[in-house]
Structure 1
């Protein structure tokens, strides 16, 4: 750990806070949906539709978000997106029936959709290549920390004030974080008034090693790169499992395992706390051991994660199911973080936003399909969660196989 605090670490802390809010805002719905369903009289398929609605618009905005970040810079894209999604998070509280709720969730997804490509571009710009895996891994711990905190937060607020207060309470933090991004995170370190000459020197090695750009590269160049498509399809199958579990775990614990509200809050959080550790360690593992083979954590995470997802399905008790999910999510998130690190670590900086947008689109298409697919399976099988978990096992196995091809793509 460096002895002197550098300004890029301040930027990383702000990005951490921003991504944490991003995942808190989207994941509170997964915990609140059983209570909304009781009030609105929703079926399991309609519950899946509500959770999928966000991903519909979120997926559509991934590539445009990357293009906007590459063209106008990451700061304005992030600040606008945060403000937009925070408003529509709060507006969820005014929904009185299914259709308005779905429309609000779609609008909410538009704001969050432009954010990830801009965030990845920020990390690529602000961190030297030798640190980018760790920085990305630290930021992405929020992918699991947000879902870990959401059930605890929702359970407490619902018990005290009802589910509508959950969404209203998230408006103010969103406004504050949008302002932090606008005033303290510039598009590049060279544009920041907070950077010292000594810290700017840290980027000279990367600048010297960067190939000369002979023409302006855009989305057309990105989609012709094999690594982008291997990452695209790997992330698609990975996220069928990740978002299926993340979206339905609270309902599974309440309805299938018979947990109380307080037990569900803790039980649904524990796997994601383990996932937070997995996300954090993944960056260190990738930078230290797999700098020239960054696909290997993806393979390892998917294979071991699949084993423990299967053990969740056959666990004889709710507590053992949670224990299996804790181990499974630790390894799943190691692999998931590694997938996100690949475009940041190997793509030219001027293409990172577009590349991240293309790859993340796959994950969000999966995020749209998975809750809806799970809801459909449950509706036609009489709430048979064993079939659902076996689906997740198969998707992780496919992701592991696809990720073995990423090595050959990065060799070119």
Structure 2
């Protein structure tokens, strides 16, 4: 990269910074999104007297969320590209907030399973909306940190779920948890609708900021290649890059969703944590993961600004993060709780670093801005098979073996498989190019 190119990676003097306001509002939305889904995993150990669920039934309840969440991903990605993140994010937040509040009315296994299923449907557009926002509002050299910001909402949501949910339960009851969190989501939806516009339409973004975004590779309709706009959605399945993204994200989520579902139960049942210890010490891995993700995103952006290829940066982040996440298997073997927490923190932090790279990929490889949400939906669709399978498998293995040792070794091994996939299967990370007739129907994948 030349000195002139290096200078062009910095925003010009006088450029507004609306993009950072937008991404931090998106961060709050994703925090509430994950607070909604994580609240049940925190509350469930203290709902046993009313529900009397086995570990297998708990796994089924957790998985019900992902049955709907995953089934809707393909349509959700397409929908985000069709209507834009302003509308998709707002409507999704209202939907998931309503069904979060309705969780307070559940009275047994089937009612709990049903409301979690409907909650999953409402949350499905959220990550693709955030990925679309990042690709639209950030140039390539800022996309890593921007992605780490909104993606860290998943960790923050899980972290704050522990003290918030346990405090509400201690003062009131588990029913109040879901009403309060549902109200937060509706409030955020109104803020998002008010604040979000695309760059050229945003009243607070000046011409200097818009020019900086578009020159740096922000994916907007104004900068799309004309032929790329006509690429059919179904053709995306033809590419090794997209298929590798789908499989690799499945491997990452196989480990991540342990923290979202069974992590509190692990601390209570395996390590003997009481309510106070769960609320305090249980937050440590998530806090560590938040700062790890931000650090990884900043370092990735710095490397790209210095001229390191996007392919090398993204692969280093993702492969290294998945390899680090595999240490979760050793948490099952150490004798002391603090040792387990240290290993779990390292694993969660490493996986979060990998996640920032993975969620940067849709903006990196999409052939046009009209495909960013769709590709995000594709990889999230595949990844959340882990949300369906992993909780059931973990619950069944805990029931069969009486501990978390075998489940942790299994998901740690899956993390290593994911690392090898990104290292050996995925090719160069660059916008997908297709050849086809004038209507955009592909004949032969290029660079697949």
Q: TM-score, normalised by structure 1?
A: 0.94
1:310 aligns with 2:329: yes
State the match for 2:435 in structure 1. none
The answer as to whether partners of 1:54 and 1:109 remain within 8 angstroms in 2 is: yes
* More divergent stretch after superposition (71-80 vs 287-296): 287-296
> Is the contact made by 2:330 and 2:409 (CA closer than 8 Å) also made in structure 1?
no
Between stretches 247-256 and 335-344, larger displacement belongs to 335-344
Q: Equivalent of 2:342, from 318, 323, 333?
A: 323
Partner of 1:201: 211
Q: Which residue of 1 aligns with 2:271?
A: 257
Q: Give the structure with higher Rg (CA).
A: 2
Larger fraction in helix: 1
Report the secondary structure of 2:47's partner residue. helix
Quickly say closer, same or farther: Cα 1:201–1:409, change in 2 above 3 A.
closer
Residue 189 of structure 1, aligned match among 178, 199, 215? 199
- Residue 353 of structure 1: which of 373, 377, 393 is its match? 373
After superposition, the Cα gap between the structure-2 partners of 1:160 and 1:314, relative to the gap in structure 1 and judged at 3 Å, is same
- Cα gap change, 1:375 to 1:204, in 2 (>3 Å): closer
Equivalence for 1:385:
404
Match of 2:436 in 1: none
Decide which moves more: 84-93 or 223-232.
223-232
Q: 2:244–2:426: 8 Å Cα contact kept in structure 1?
A: no
Residue ranges of structure 2 left out of the alignment (5+ in a row):
1-9, 431-446
CA separation in 2, counterparts of 1:136 and 1:89? 26
Which of 111, 134, 139 is equivalent to 2:145? 134
1:232 is aligned to 2:246: yes
Structure 1, unaligned runs of 5 or more: none
Offset at 1:153?
1.1
For 2:345 and 2:259, locate their aligned partners in 1 and report how far apart those are by CA, in whole Å.
12
Q: Deviations over 1:267-288 (max 9, x none)?
A: 2211011111122122223222
Q: 1:374 to 1:216 in 2, by over 3 A?
A: same
Cα distance per residue 1:312-352 (max 9 Å; x no partner)? 11110112111111122111211122111112223232210
Deviation at 1:67, TM superposition (A): 0.6
State which of 217, 220, 226 in structure 2 corresponds to 1:213: 226
Residue 94 of structure 1 corresponds to which residue in structure 2?
105
Deviations 1:214-241 (A, max 9, x none): 2512312322222111011011111111
Tell me, in whole angstroms, the C-alpha distance in 2 between the residues paired with 1:133 and 1:261.
36
Question: In 1, Cα distance between the equivalents of 2:113 and 2:409?
Answer: 28
Is the Cα–Cα contact under 8 Å of residues 45 and 379 in structure 1 kept in the other structure?
Answer: yes
Residues 218, 351 of structure 1: 8 Å contact kept: no
Map 1:13-412 onto structure 2 (within 5 A). 13-186=24-197, 188-206=198-216, 212-214=225-227, 215-289=229-303, 291-293=310-312, 294-307=314-327, 309-347=328-366, 348-381=368-401, 383-405=402-424, 407-410=426-429, 412=447
What SS does structure 2 have at the residue aligned with 1:141? helix
User: Residues of 2 paired with 1:140 and 1:67: CA distance?
Assistant: 20
- Counterpart contact for 1:283–1:337, Cα < 8 Å: yes
How far 1:159 sits from its partner (Å)? 1.0
Q: Is the 8 A contact 1:295 1:339 kept in 2?
A: no
Give, in whole Å, the separation in 2 of the partners of 1:212 and 1:328: 40
Structure 1 vs Structure 2 CA RMSD: 1.9
| Deviates most, 134-143 or 205-214 | 205-214
Cα offset, 1:26, TM superposition: 0.7
Q: 1:274 to 1:208 in 2, by over 3 A?
A: closer
Distance 2:330 2:159 in 1: 21
Say whether the 8 Å CA contact 2:137–2:218 is kept in structure 1.
no
Residues 152 and 265 of structure 1 are in contact (CA less than 8 Å); yes or no, is this contact kept in structure 2? Answer: yes
Distance 2:418 2:132 in 1: 25
Structure 1 counterpart of 2:442: none
Give the Cα–Cα distance (whole angstroms) in 1 for the partners of residues 279 and 116 of structure 2. Answer: 23
TM-score, length-normalised on structure 2?
0.87
Q: Is the CA contact 2:144–2:356 (under 8 Å) kept in the aligned structure 1?
A: no
Equivalent residues of 1:226, 1:409 under 8 A apart:
no
